[in-house]
A and B are shown apart, each in its own frame.
Chain A
Amino acid sequence: MGSKPKQQDYKPSEAEKASAAVAKAEYEFFKANYEPLLIKMRDKAKDENYRDSIRGRASADVAQALTSNLSLGQVTNVASAGDTAAAYSGQLQKADEGAKSVKNKMATGVLGTARGQAAEAQSGLAQVSRMETATALQRAKENQALAQAKFTAGVQIGGALGMQGLSNMQQGRSFFGGTELGQPLPPGVQGPPAPDRKLGFRDRLQAGSFGNLIGG
């Protein structure tokens, strides 16, 4: 016949006791140190104003992109104001979208942690700092670059035209280099005889590539 069961045989082992003691201590540490942080994060997710700072960044982006290399041509370009207005609207909308995303991610992160689910590790703030450029800002930048290129090209063409015209006038010809039909070339001027020359800008437009008058 077996002996009576001894109560000491049913006592928890040292490992079990240590495990329970450690678990309880860890729980208390968590409650004392991490739970207040989580509650702070909850309040932050509710009340923190991310919007203003991200919008400030977006406005600065637009200003830097469109006015950092300001020139006289841009200042007097009346058409660029519309592009700038559209760029501001677009970029600020992107900023609001980013701020909303940060706030929502933080809120679900807090709630997920509180509910014992996986926490969202990334706040998304870094993503907002790399906020993609809005289409309107990109378009405004492109328009500005195009306007600048046109202006530069205009200056180059105008400059070349002016220089050539002055040179022609110094040689006794008209600004566009023509002479009266049938008149001799001024003394000392090399070139084909006068009848091949056209008098003014209109004649030049009507002339073909080799100087003959179209239909004339």
Chain B
Amino acid sequence: MFGPLMQGRGRFNQETGEFEPDGAGGDYVNNLPAVSDPEQTYANITRQEYMDYVENYREFEKELIEQAQTDTSLIDYAKEDALASEERTRQIAERNRSRYGVALTPAQMQEQQRSLSRGTTLGGVQSIADARIAQRDANQRLLADLINIGQGVNRTSLQQLGSAASDANARKRAYQSARAQAKQQTIGAVGSLGAMAIMALAI
């Protein structure tokens, strides 16, 4: 009744531009299990998807929303670095001096200490100020991304709900229409029976 093309048994060969029936390769589609009740399958998948989301991502999403509003890690790190950088730089300078076998005079040592303190303080102040700006920026961007995702989810949900409401409304109207039709038919039938009874009595 159906040819291989109609049944989908085969595949389109792009090189030859022709449909090749089975025999030229595996029939992947016809070997798939048939979906006997697509509506029920779709309902099951929708339900399972939501359950998987709640189980796997709901907590993760809440943590991100919380983080976007309260995260101060960049500022905290900058403060830690500002404290540690003086010691690190002093060690670097000492290592470099020992490589060259150079010793500083007490006056030079004092000046180096002053320079280190100055550099550490100024650098720390600047990096903490930069970190504050970067933190605000990162939190803002994260929040904006989350809101974008949320907005998409909201839009999809409203569309689904709108579709469900529209279907429900159509069903309600179909029911009312059917009920009115049934009532009309009943009245018509009763009327016919009544008319027939009157005619029978008259005869």
Chain A residue at minimal CB-CB distance from B60: A42
Residues 51-79 of B, flagged 1 when their CB comes within 8 A of A and 0 if not, give 01100110011011000000001100110
Known: A15-B8, A86-B122, A89-B127. A115 touches B57 (CB 8 A): yes
Residue among B74, B89, B100, B156 making CB contact with A97, cutoff 8 Å = B74
Residues 1-40 of B, flagged 1 when their CB comes within 8 A of A and 0 if not, give 0100011100000000000000000000110111100100
Cβ of A27 within 8 Å of any chain B Cβ, yes or no, is: yes
A93:B127 contact, CB within 8 angstroms: yes
Return chain B residues, CB-CB under 8 Å to A101.
138, 141
Bound Cα distance from A76 to B99, whole angstroms: 12
Residue among B57, B60, B97 making CB contact with A75, cutoff 8 Å = B97
Cβ of B41 within 8 Å of any chain A Cβ, yes or no, is: yes
Interface hit among A16-24, A147-155, A192-200? A16-24
Return chain B residues, CB-CB under 8 Å to A75.
93, 96-97, 99-100, 102
Tell me the B123-139 residues at the A interface (CB within 8 Å).
123-124, 126-127, 130-131, 134, 138
Tell me the A1-60 residues at the B interface (CB within 8 Å).
12, 14-15, 17-18, 20-25, 27, 35, 39, 42, 46, 51
Cβ of A144 within 8 Å of any chain B Cβ, yes or no, is: no
Return chain B residues, CB-CB under 8 Å to A117.
148-149, 152-153
Min CB distance B135 to A, Å, is 8
Return chain B residues, CB-CB under 8 Å to A118.
152
Bound Cα distance from A81 to B88, whole angstroms: 10
Known: A79-B111, A93-B134, A115-B149. A85 touches B156 (CB 8 A): no
Min CB distance B86 to A, Å, is 6
* Total A residues in contact with B, Cβ cutoff 8 Å: 56
Return chain A residues, CB-CB under 8 Å to B90.
81
Min CB distance A97 to B, Å, is 4
Cβ of B145 within 8 Å of any chain A Cβ, yes or no, is: yes
Residue among A17, A21, A86 making CB contact with B119, cutoff 8 Å = A86
Size range of the chain B interface in the assembly: 35 or more
Cβ of B177 within 8 Å of any chain A Cβ, yes or no, is: no
Interface hit among A105-113, A125-133, A168-176, A177-185? A105-113
Return chain A residues, CB-CB under 8 Å to B141.
101, 104
Min CB distance A68 to B, Å, is 12
Cβ of B92 within 8 Å of any chain A Cβ, yes or no, is: yes
Return chain B residues, CB-CB under 8 Å to A93.
74, 77-78, 81, 127, 130-131, 134
Residue among B92, B118, B148 making CB contact with A67, cutoff 8 Å = B92
Return chain B residues, CB-CB under 8 Å to A84.
89, 92-93, 119
Return chain A residues, CB-CB under 8 Å to B53.
114-115
Return chain A residues, CB-CB under 8 Å to B64.
107-108, 111
A136:B127 contact, CB within 8 angstroms: yes
List 10 additional A-B contacts (Cβ < 8 Å) besides A87-B123, A107-B64, A115-B152.
Answer: A75-B96, A75-B100, A82-B115, A82-B120, A85-B119, A88-B81, A92-B77, A93-B81, A97-B134, A111-B61
**Contact surface of A with B, Cβ cutoff 8 Å:** 12, 14-15, 17-18, 20-25, 27, 35, 39, 42, 46, 51, 67, 70, 72, 74-76, 78-90, 92-93, 96-97, 100-101, 104, 107-108, 110-112, 114-118, 120, 135-136
